[in-house]
Amino acid sequence: MSKRVLHPIVLFDGVCNLCNAGVNFLIDHDRKGQLRFAALQSPTGQAILEKFRLRTTDFNTMVLVEGEHCWLRSTAALRIATYLDGGWWLLGAMGLMVPTFIRDYVYDFIAHNRYRWFGKLDVCRIPTPELRERFLD
């Protein structure tokens, strides 16, 4: 694993129920508070997407930004897991050993069906006051 950045940023689909549940999971398992979050639809999310020349509409991936590096799809998810407490970091590190084309096939299948299976919100998530400092506008 490369040198860790102070606060990696997780970009997520703010209207996706699965994505919001995933953010809740990350918050619960990142007890050191390393990760920061922004909805892909937010001004911060849009600026980051533009910086890395990524699609700014029709979202189909989560994004992890570590300094000047940007990770997508299964690589983003597994690298995020390496920041978590418990055995999740090991799962993330081991998962990165699986060939990308296999990981991304599974990731894309879930991403393609996420709204149908888990539903969609009308608006992006609004963090509680206790969690506000971990969310970027």
Residue 108 CB burial class (10 angstroms; 0-12, 13-18, ≥19): middle
The 10s digit of each residue's pLDDT in 10-45 is 999 988 899 989 999 999 999 999 999 999 999 999
Q: Please tell me whether residue 39 adopts helix, strand or coil conformation.
A: strand
Q: What is the pLDDT of residues 60-75, one digit of tens each?
A: 889 999 999 999 999 9
Q: Are 65 and 72 within 8 A, CB to CB?
A: no
The pLDDT of residue 2 is above 60: no
Task: Tell whether the model's pLDDT for residue 5 goes beyond 70.
Answer: no
Q: Is the pLDDT of residue 57 over 60?
A: yes
